[in-house]
Structure formats: structure tokens, C-alpha cells
Structure 1
């Protein structure tokens, strides 16, 4: 099932595998507001109103449970369905749209009532031998209480059943505008996969994430996959279709504001993170694989600070900056607008047109003291001070903008060494093809050279605050290569640090299982450990495929494992669920796990092994608990997030209708709002001034803000002009013909585009009301070979509370025939 993605057009290389599966008889379901090329290639297309994904997914959950069409053995053994939740918990069904623990003054939840009822903890009767054991022993809690009949009113299964009880096919039709018969067709097709012989996969992208409830959309998909029994099994799972070749690698290593490499938490002044031990006690989970957290954090600090990092100085931990709050993209630009952030290096993005409420982003850029822009082309973020619409029309004068802008031309991916990590966590080495032209330099070269200059600048400093710069390990000098004039920092040295090594000998570690918490190992990213097991082997360079699991092609983190949690591909007793889906199983003769993939389980742990009552790490799990990263070894159907323990249907902040399920709390009560920003007003619900639903998307010919494509003549010619897709019915109502200019307006701004009248957009009947949807690509701006209005001037800055992703897939607008007046922004 493809939902929240136009797979065929936005990920055409990956989509070939979907077509192969379809040709072999697989059903391909596309649920989307637009009929796209993905829809045309699917066996089933299902329309829906943009922004109602959770209502649709919740309806599927309800269908499986009410009709007892879920995979019962899988759900009972491999999920927390039987776990009993505290008596204090109250659901949205009890509280008209909010969960227990909500504070209306702060718009936040206290999740204490969402926890399990637990047995008394059993403390180990021995002294800890390592820091990892010491921390885990102190944090051990009792086992969750269970009801394996799944009948207890507070067991997770019954809570979910109650939570989604009103998400009926009829309600889905009223909320989503999806015809009931089409919804039921999808439900039946998915229900057919809830057995040992079949699996299903969900593929999603920005259509699920870019909402004020984006994380909960993904969780709803995960709950469905768990009920169907597809997680950890071949052909199953949830596939996040990443935006370009290395988004996965960028988050792994990371460019996330709240994470360190390998998804370790960034130190925060808002948590008990004062010392390294405080940090480790706060972040370490005593049961499951994350009990090894201290090994990964201390090895990371050793990789960064080398010999200077010792147990006596907390391995340099206290020199790491601590978060003071939400430092996401939008909060960062809010701080720039307020004068708190003074300078900015922008690399790999184009916020002047790519950021939501783009006009605000330009105001924030204009308030900086200095701005460095690194890009192959002179993009809008570099030229906003003299080319932006508000400058062109005289509203703002260049001399009034105090920002000093430095443009440093960058190389593109083919002009540098490195690797890509894609959707399937597959790390693949890439080679440099040519030198970049002129003064262009790669991001790797720039970052390394900047670090060298900073170290030189601070080398004689006696200030304690400069310790981290002075002691930063930064020896990645280029290795000679006669093929090129511009030599990149050593890929080998960087990858060795990422892989990990023994600090005394320099010998490479073979994998993350060898990392220690005593300073004897260094590792730049524990999940990548094993990619370079010796100086002469880079497994990311392997190119031995076999058209199936292909363990010899590249290196998939962790441990070259292609399917995560693949212990779930076998029954609790270790035998395959079926011969057709045989993948990883217990070999009783060899007394180990084996199969077609690297088993995601302790190799010698038998299926009938019991969990130790006082065990830490994986000793707390039985041999039938496949989900080793999770504290209890099973899927969390019910799991506390910032905005609740279960996905719930809320309307977008701009919506043409009321919330039929929760009229008292129609939008996400925990969403992040930015009321102090200029011209960021929301429309609210059922606002007749803005009656049309608008969604934004991408086209094959352009990339994101267009920074890499609108400067290329061939691509510019293929897709030269901004357009707005609308149905013939709406065009007829508004007197608009194909290719007419139209003006699109929200409270944030006005833009113009050509009308593209097409049956790909269809009116939907939502609770008896006809709702028109329109769609617009996001790729245009005021610079480059082809230019146009900035679509992101229409959008508001309002975000999901878990990860601060914006809401741009469903908002409302008004449309009028005709162009903007000359000079109107």
C-alpha cells in the first residue's frame, strides 16, 4: 500500500521493484488525494481528502479488530496487546478528543498515566562489573502485567479496540470522502495478508509526515502492520521513501538538531544531563539492546576527543553544548528574526523559498549579522537581499538589510568521494567522477578545512571553553590521487573513525558488539560499526547482488542486516511461519539462528529461553521476544509520544470542515504554534473565505526548492512554469480554462500560477458537502533559468510536536481567475 507518496514520480528508481512485484501478482494500492502516475500503475486507486490519513488508517485498524481478521498468534506473542495500562489512563473516547494528562495552559501532556501496571522489580543479587551494568541495575523496573486472553478492559488490545470503535467505514467515508466500497476493498485486500503465508508493505513519504500529527500517521501505519503480522518478515514492513539519495545517511550521522550520531540523544539543559553519568542514567533503558547506551556514547566521545577524553574528565562530555529548548529549523529562524541568532551557515537548503511562510524566512535572514551560503548555484537565499519580491517592488530596500552575505560555491555529489545511505539503510560507496569547476568545493572539503582553521585559531588558547576545539580529533588529510587536482579529505580515515577501533592498538572493531564503556574503543557511529572491519575492506563498496537478499551488495546497518527484527519471521518456537515466507529460523542441530539474512537476535539464544527476572539488556527478554531494541522485546501498539499514546484523527489547522469525531478538540491539542511570527495567521476550521483544500508536492523534473534543477536548461525546459492542478468541476465553477493565470491566496500571502485543469483532481463528498482540492508543486522561486511565484509563501509555520516538522500537505486557500497585479508580493 502506497500512501502519502507519489512513488512512481518521486522515487522512480525504487518504483521499478513495485512494478516487478505487481507483474508477479502483487496488489498495489495507492491512497492519495491526486490521481498520479503512481495511481495509474497501481492495481487499486483510492481517493481521500488530504490531511485525513489517520481517519483512514484508524478505519483499517477498526476493521481488522472488529472482524477478527488480524494475525492473532503474531499479535499475542509479538506485541504489547496483552499489557495492562494504569487505571488512571483515560482515552480520547472518554475525554472528547484529548488523553489524560493534558494541560490546556501549556498545550502539553504529562504521560505518567499512560504507563503499564507492573510487577514488583527483582533486583540483581550481585554487584555490577561495568558502568553499563551499574546504570541498568539502578533503573530496573518490574515486568508489565499481562492478560493473554486480551479481555481485560485496560489491556492494550481493548484500549485500541475502544479508541478506534467509531472509525467505521461509514465514518471514514464522511471524514475522508473515500467511497465506502473502495475503503472496504482496501480493508479486505490487507486482511488477506494477515496470515503466515503472506505479508504487506506500506510505503510513505512527505504525505504522511508533513502534518501537525505527522509522527502519529507513521505510528498508525506501524499499528496496522503489527496487526497484520508483517513487521520483521520478508516483504513486509514500513518503508520511508527518503527525499534524495542520502537523507537516511544525513539523519544517521546526523543533521538532526536533537540527536548525536547513531540516534543518541543530544545533551539537554532541560533534562538531568549535568554529568556524563547523569546523562547515561537518564537516557539508558535497562532492558533491551539500548542497555548498551553507555558503550556507544563513551565510544563516540573517544572518537571525537581521542587521548584527551578520559574517565577523569567524563571523556569530554561536559564540553558538548546542551540544548536549551527546541532548536529545530523553525525555532532557529524565529530566533534569527528576534536577533538571538546572529549568523548562519546555510548548506544544502534554500530557506528563502523552501521554508514554510517563505516571506517570514526572508525577514529572518535580513536580521542576521552574517550569512554564509554554500550551493552550486546562486540560489534565492544568497540573493534575497536584492532579488526577493519585497525588494523588487520597493517594500524593502537592499541598503536596509544589514546582513553580510558570503556565497561559497559548492561541488555536487559526482565531484566528491563518499557514500550514500538509502531508504533500506544500505550504505553504498560512491566514487568521485571529476573535479568541481573553479572555486567550487565539496561540503566535506569545506567542513574539514574550516575545522583546521578553527583549530589553528585556538591552538594557543588557555580558556577552558576552547578545550573541545583544541582536542577535537581532526586528522583526515587527503591521500594523493593523480586523477584529480583537488584532493578530498581521506575517506578511509573518516570511515575508520565511523566504523570504530581499539584506542590502544588502532585495530578496527568488527562490529558494535565489541564496543566498550571503559574508553578502550572509539566509534563515530555505532550503527555503522562493521562497515570497515579491517583496513583493506570497505563493505560499502561490495557489488555482489543476487536479486533477493543480496548480502554481498553494500552494507546495511546494523551488522549488514537487510530486514530489521527478522526473528519475527519465525514462530515463537523458532520454526518458519511458512515455507513460502521462510527467512530466519532456529537450527536445532547447530543450536543457533540461521537463514537468508543476518539474524537480528543473539545467535545462540534458543527460542525456549526464559527471560531472567533480574536480567538487564537482552537477558530480560525471552528467546521468543524478537524486537530487541524495545524494552520488553515486543512491538509497542500503545506507546507514549508527545501528543498521545495512540494516533487520533485531528483536522489540519486550516480545514474546510469540522472534526466529526472530536468537535470539542478538532485539531491536535499538542501541536506547535508560532503566534509571535509576523503574517503567520491560520484560517481555522470551516472558514468560508478560504474554501478549497490545497496540497503541495514534487514533480520528477525538479528537486525541492528547485536549487539543483531550475538552473539546468534541460530540466527547466521540461518543466518551465508553476501550475495549479484543479478539477474540471472547480474550473467550471470559477470560469477558469486550462493555462489561464490564477491567483491563489491565504492569510500568509498571494501567488500566481497557470491553471492545469485535469481529472487527476476530483471533488469529494465530505459529510454531504462537496469539497474541492487543488494541488501545486513547490519548486519555484525568483532566481534561476525558470522563475515563478514562491508556493511556500502560502503556507503557515505550524508543526508536529514530536519532531517539529511543518504542516504543508493540507491547508486551505482561495482561488481567483487572473494574475497578481504588478509588484504585489
Structure 2
């Protein structure tokens, strides 16, 4: 997510799966797409039928490799070296899309004189490294003058301090010979890939990149994605038909889980979770609101989100309830709270759609940690290993754990299957699709939404009887959702809140979808039709601003639309933002607004407005020649030829001046337990990575010859992740035996 977000502005796939059919070349790396995404892979096959070259880069020959034109086996964990070699090839041989790069990326931006690259001393460190904190202080990574909104630029790309020259130097040693040394890819095969990508890029042609968890699971996963982003920007493939980067998500709604989100460090719509020190709303907004670009409207998104949480209890007088939001005090990610469990700092845990006893790293440690809890709630359709670890596990068999010594009280709740509940899920291409319930769940089985809803009602009832200040957020929580006969919250009511509405209630006003709360009282005003209508004064509420528009004043649940038209499928579901299928699509036209080519036209300027096949990702009436004045703010500060409107400068970032913790440019480091040393730098592994080292979680030192092993992971079509579903279905178990 941060790899795409810092490169382009949004943490989602830039294109749609069906648009792969328009690609002239498709590079699949970090994924066996034919196995893990067989439905989406049909569009890869469509492209191949039309003459596209399919490239699969993967250590393992798989079903995807068998259907590819070029298979490139490489050592696991060396993707940055391989992609970095392609970047060097483009720059050194002047094969990049120059007009696109000069106008639409920050290649021309001048960097601070204090910036130092790992190539300056070949030790693997950027400037700003703090050894005591084991972290970077990124002040020297900024543009010259520290102004991200109006950087100094050299459109000739010759200034030694410009991003392009720094990029050129950074990847100068990623030669085909070095790629072979690190990755095991022979030069002739490397050049075959490079030639295919170059031949399929430019004004008339485009190439796409597809990746999945084969990249994201690495300690340097963000930077692998960043390398692909640089490659695609240099080739001019972002925002154009048949181009882009498709982040292949591992489940039906992994994209939705980050959008809404289930991640500890963000709020819905990729708003930053407050940290300790962000004590007031104004302090928080001053820290995260940008002067230019779409993030200048940050206050509108944040205040509308809090209003959705707390309703009438969130007022201007109490900072709209900002003080009720939790404040992060450090790293609260998965392994951190695993250690908290081991150390007795956590009393209980809810598991929904997760099976860490067999599906998480160091599963032996996971089961030991579960045994330290006082209580554990598991919701699943079958009794998974995390529910019965206390009586059936390798540790029980070996006598390391004894059932009579484990005090963890396990509450197992039967869950509804996907056909037994309704709601929206968001797939790989940011597409919200509504799922109708086919049948009621059997017996006591209920959806996760039912469980959370009923738990919230009980917690609110307890909080109402309490005068403890710690319960104030629960008392203020606006839990208004109507129910069906099974006690399930009506999911269209939840979607209406996610879309957003005006908070003022006017009698007989049109556009109000759910007029009453659980007590039969008027609850909210009419729906908003998009995030442009959100306000920072408390007059709007919105559960997730990027989804706004999915359920507007017309009362049409667009996630449930099933009348597609055009190859991008408008009319089928709703693609955030604003039902745009290819984001950053201003880049599909030349700087003057005309299409790069008739063959690859998507949106264009018609002398009065932006129009085209897709929803334009630009201010509709902003002319290509528009240049802002010095005092301009928000979107008014973005020039008419700058497609990446979430960035303060409106440009795609080859170099990230702000937003990443491990460097502004991708750098090859070895995986944490690699059996070989780094061929490029004296520092073997990613410097700021958190090793999570303690006695129960040992690591092999980098380059240790005692462990000469390189492991790879993969998925199987007939076996779904940890297997809680597929191992209990006999026909799937037969198709893919353990």
C-alpha cells in the first residue's frame, strides 16, 4: 500500500483487471496469477490472444509460467536488483518515454544539497541515518527549498541535483552482469525481458505490471513495489489503457480491508491514525493537512469520519469527538502484540477470518502465545487450529504444552458462509460489488457483522450504566443501524453511512435513504453524491471518503449495479474513487490534452472540459495550459498538466521526498536470513527493518553458511491460504492433497 501510495498518491491498483486485455506486454512478478487469481487471469489470456507478450518472473515454474511467453527464474528476494537493472537499461540507453517523464514525473525536481545516496559511499545508507535510533531522519531527502508543492525544476534533466541524475547514479551498478550475479538471471534472458517491455511502451503501446504477496511479504516489500512504480513511470505506462500496476489482492476484500480499514495505523480512506502528541484536532490537522493537492481537503475527510462515528455527540465545541479516538503510542502491529501475549500483557483476542496457529510466521510461537491469553474468541465455519490448539497441536503431542496447564478460555462462535450474508466487498481493482444473501445461515451461525453489531449494543448498554470517563467514547458512539429478523444489521444502512450524508434533518427532504434510527427517531439528512460535497464544519458525516458516491441521493446502490457498458465495465459495481476505473488517467493524454494516440485514448480535453471513456481523474474544467498563481491552494495549485493530484506537486514520484521510512529510492538488500552477502553494499539487509529478535524467535545471521537455503512461497488454486475452508471440503482436498 505505501509503495503505490507514495509513488502515485493512492494505495490501490491503478487499473482494472479487464484492462489487461489492452496491454501489449504484461509482466507478472511476485505472483502466480493463473493459480491465485484464475478469474482475473482470463484477461491476461485475452491480451495474449491479441499478440501481447506475457512475462513471468518467479523462482518456481507454475501454471502461470507454463502460459507465459518468457519465464524468468530468479533467486527469491532479489526483485529490486532485477527491476533496478531494467531501470538502468532504460536510462543508460535513452529508452524511457521522455515527454511523459519530463512533464508527469518529478524527474526534473531539484533535491537538497544535503542529500546523499548509498552510491556516494557504497555502504547501503542514505543520508540521515541515526544509528542510535536505528532509523532515518529524512530532512535531507526533501526538494531544494523544502517546498514539495512548488519544487525547483530542470526540464533538461541535466542538473546534477535533479531526481533524474540521482536516479541514474543510484542504479548505475545494476548492470546485466550484476543482475546475473545477484538474481541468477543470465544477461541474454534479462535483455529479452528489457526488449519486450521497451517494444511495448511509448505513445502507441503500453505494458502492465501485476504483483501479489510474493512482493508484499518481504521485509522490503514496499521498496520492491516502488521499483516497479519507477519502471512504469519511466515507460509512461501509468494512467493509460493497457498499462498501470495491478496489485493482486489475496482475498475477495483485502483491498476493502485496507480501505475501511483493519490496519492499526490508519483510519478509513487512508487517513492517518492519531499518535501520542496529536492531542487536539487542530494539532492533528496542522500535521497532516497539505497546502496543495487533494490532501488540502484533509479536514473535510477527517471531521466527516468522526461525525460518522459519534453523530450528534461530535460537535465543534468538543473538537467533533477527536479526543475519543485512540492515540498510537508505538508499533502495534501483529508481531508486537504477539509478544504482548507471550509476556502476559494481553488478556484476550478476537479471531475472525484469521488462523495464526497454522497461518502466521513461527506458528509454534503463535500457539504458545495463544496459551497465555485469558480468553480467545474464534469465529469460523469450522473448528480451526486456533480454536483447538489447547488440545490438538504439535506442542501438545510433544508435551511442551499440557491442556490442563492452559488457562485460555476459548469461545467458538459458528460463522455464516459467504452465501449466507449480504454486503459489499472490494476486489483487486478497487471495485465495490454487492453480494446478495442466497440463504439464511443454519442454526446459530451468524455473520461477522452480526457479531460486531450485537457486541457493540451490549458494550454500549454497559457503558450507559457506567460513569467511568474511559467509557465515554462508547456512550457517544452513534450505533443507529436497523436490523433484520435475525438481528443482523441492515448492510445497506451501513453502506449509506460509508457513502456519507448531510447531518441536518429537514422534514420531507428527498435523498434520505434511512430516515430513522433504532428508536424510530430522525437520524440524518440526504446522502452526498461524492467526497467533493464533504465539509469540515460538522455538516456532513462519511464513513469512508474514498467510497463516497457509491450510494448517493438517487438511492441507487451502485455496488449492486449489474449493467456493464464499455470494456471498463462502467455500470457494474462501483470503483473508487468516483467510479473511476483507471486512476491518474489525465496521464493518458499529452500535456496539451490530446490523446497520445488513437489506439490508446482514454480521456482528453475537448476545448471546454475533460471527457472520454473513463471518469476523468482531474478537475473537469481545468484547461491543460492552466498554471496556478503563487497563492493558490488545494487543487487550484495543481497545474493543468499534472496528473497525480494527491501529491502536492501533482507529479508521479520516481523519488519519494517524504513518506517512507527506509529510503527515497529502492535499494537492493538481501532478505533477513539470506545465505549470501549483499553484492552491492557493505550493509547486507534493509537498515531500519525491525528484526523482532528474542529467544523464541531466532534468526539466522545474513550470509551464514550453516543455513544454505533459499525458501519460496506459493499458492494453489484448490487450497485457500491456511485451508480453514478448503481442507474441510472433500472435493477440494482430493484435488489438492496435503
Pairwise same-fold verdict (TM > 0.5): yes
CA distance in 2, matches of 1:679, 1:203: 36
Q: Secondary structure at the match of 2:57?
A: strand
CA contact (8 A) 1:118 1:143 kept: no
What corresponds to 2:733 in structure 1? 716
Q: What does the per-residue CA deviation read over 1:132-167, in whole Å, with 9 as the maximum and x for residues that have no partner?
A: xxxxxxxxx772111111111110000000000000
How far apart, CA to CA, are the structure 1 residues paired with 2:200 and 2:135?
38
Q: Contact 1:458/1:470 (CA < 8 Å) preserved in 2?
A: yes
* Aligned 8 A contact 1:564 1:600 in 2: yes
- Matched with 2:704 is 687
Rounded to whole Å, the distance in 2 between the matches of 1:670 and 1:154 is 25
The Cα shift of 1:563 comes to 0.6
Question: Contact 1:545 / 1:551 at 8 angstroms: preserved in 2?
Answer: yes
What does 1:594-633 align with in structure 2 at a 5 Å threshold?
594-633=611-650
Q: Does residue 572 of the first structure (1) align with residue 585 of the second (2)?
A: no
**Equivalent position SS for 1:317:** helix
The aligned residue for residue 441 of structure 2 is 436
* C-alpha deviation, 1:235, in angstroms: 1.1
Q: How does 1:253-652 map to 2 (within 5 A)?
A: 253-269=260-276, 272-479=277-484, 486=486, 488-505=488-505, 506-534=525-553, 536-546=555-565, 548-588=567-607, 591-639=608-656, 640=658, 641-652=660-671
The Cα of 1:372 is off from its aligned counterpart by 0.7
- In 2: Cα distance, 1:415 partner to 1:278 partner: 45
Residue 520 (structure 2) aligns with:
none
Counterpart CA distance in 2 for 1:670 and 1:265 is: 21
Q: Secondary structure at the match of 1:560?
A: coil
Could you tell me how far 1:544 is from its partner in structure 2? 1.4
What residue number does 1:808 align with?
none
Give, in whole Å, the separation in 1 of the partners of 2:702 and 2:279.
44
- Where do residues 174-185 of structure 1 align in structure 2 (5 Å cutoff)? 174-185=181-192
Q: Which moved more, 1:534-543 or 1:498-507?
A: 534-543
Higher relative contact order (CA 8 A, sep 6+): 2
C-alpha distance in structure 1 between counterparts of 2:160 and 2:558, whole Å: 50
Aligned to 1:28, what secondary structure does the other structure show? Answer: strand
For the residue of structure 2 that corresponds to 1:654, the secondary structure is coil
Q: Tell me which moved more, 276-285 or 542-551.
A: 542-551
Q: Which residue of 2 aligns with 1:703?
A: 720
Does the 8 Å contact 1:531/1:540 carry over to 2?
Answer: yes
Deviations 1:547-575, CA, capped at 9 Å, x for gaps? 51221111101100111011110011111
Matched, 1:148 2:175: no
Structure 1 Cα separation of the partners of residues 469 and 685 of structure 2: 48
- CA–CA distance in 1 between the matches of 2:250 and 2:566? 24
- Preserved contact between residue 417 and residue 488 of structure 1 (Cα < 8 Å): no
Match of residue 16 from structure 1: 42
Higher strand share: 1
Kept in 2: contact 1:499–1:509 (CA 8 A): yes
Q: Does 1:229 align with 2:236?
A: yes
SS of the residue corresponding to residue 696 of structure 1 reads coil
Deviation at 1:517, TM superposition (A): 0.5
CA offset digits 1:502-523 (Å, max 9, x no partner)? 1003101010000000000010
CA deviation map 1:721-776 (0-9, x unaligned): 2xxxxxxxxxxxxxxxxxxxxxxxxxxxxxxxxxxxxxxxxxxxxxxxxxxxxxxx
After TM superposition, the structure 1 = structure 2 runs for residues 645-794 of structure 1, keeping only pairs within 5 Å, are: 645-662=664-681, 664-676=682-694, 678-721=695-738
1:373-398 residue CA offsets vs partner (Å, 9 max, x unmatched): 11111111111111111111212211
Q: Which residue of 1 aligns with 2:8?
A: none
**CA distance 1:20–1:487, shift in 2 (3 Å):** farther
Alignment CA distance shift 1:42-1:268 (3 Å):
same
What's the TM-score once normalised by structure 2's chain length? Answer: 0.92
Match of 2:19 in 1: none
What secondary structure is seen at the aligned counterpart in 1 of 2:376?
A: strand
1:51 maps to 2:77? yes
Aligned equivalents of 2:479, 2:702: Cα separation in 1? 53
Does 2:156 correspond to 1:98? no
Q: How does 1:154-169 map to 2 (within 5 A)?
A: 154-169=161-176
What is the aligned partner in structure 1 of residue 11 from structure 2?
Answer: none
Gaps of 5+ in 2: 1-26, 506-524
CA contact (8 A) 2:149 2:648 kept: no
- Stretch of structure 1 that moved more, 72-81 or 452-461: 452-461
Output the CA distance in 2 between the equivalents of 1:183 and 1:487.
Answer: 59
- Aligned partners of 2:463 and 2:472 also within 8 Å: no
Partner Cα separation in structure 1 for residue 301 and residue 731 of structure 2? 47
Distance 1:643 1:686 in 2: 21
Q: Give the structure 1 partner of residue 96 of structure 2.
A: 70
Report the Cα distance in structure 2 between the residues aligned to 1:90 and 1:597, rounded to whole angstroms: 41
1:112 aligns with 2:139: yes
Q: Secondary structure at the match of 1:385?
A: coil
Is the contact between residue 194 and residue 227 of structure 1 (CA under 8 Å) also seen in structure 2? no
Instruction: Please tell me the root mean square deviation across aligned C-alpha atoms, in Å.
Output: 1.3
Partner secondary structure for residue 39 of structure 2: helix
Secondary structure class of the residue paired with 2:119: coil
1:478-525 superposed Cα distances (whole Å, 9 cap, x missing partner): 246xxxxx3531122111100111100310101000000000001001
Give, in whole Å, the separation in 2 of the partners of 1:265 and 1:224.
Answer: 28
1:277 is paired with a residue whose SS is helix
Give 1:461 shift: 2.3
Q: How far apart, in 2, do the equivalents of 1:479 and 1:654 lie?
A: 52
Where 1:577 maps in the other structure, the secondary structure is coil
Deviation at 1:296, TM superposition (A): 0.5
Given that 1:455 and 1:470 are in contact with CA atoms closer than 8 Å, whether structure 2 keeps it comes out as: yes
Q: SS at the partner of 2:596? A: coil
Q: Distance in 1 between matches of 2:201 and 2:101?
A: 10
CA distance in structure 1 between the aligned counterparts of 2:106 and 2:444, rounded to whole angstroms: 57
Output one character per residue of 1:210-254: Cα deviation in whole Å (capped at 9) or x when no partner: 111000000000000000001011111110000011111111111
- What stretches of structure 1 move > 3 A for 4+ residues in a row? none
Q: Which runs of 5+ in 1 are unaligned?
A: 122-140, 481-485, 722-825
Superposed CA deviations along residues 670-729 of structure 1, whole A, max 9, x for unmatched, are: 1111122x33222223333221211122111111111111111111122222xxxxxxxx
What is the alpha-carbon distance in structure 2 between the residues aligned to residue 512 and residue 362 of structure 1? 44
Alpha-carbon separation, structure 2, partners of 1:402 and 1:550: 53
1:301 and 1:316 in contact (8 A); partners too: yes
**CA distance, structure 1, for counterparts of residue 705 and residue 500 of structure 2:** 59
- Give the corresponding residue for 1:35: 61
8 Å CA contact retained: 1:416, 1:488: no
Q: Distance in 2 between matches of 1:654 and 1:547?
A: 48
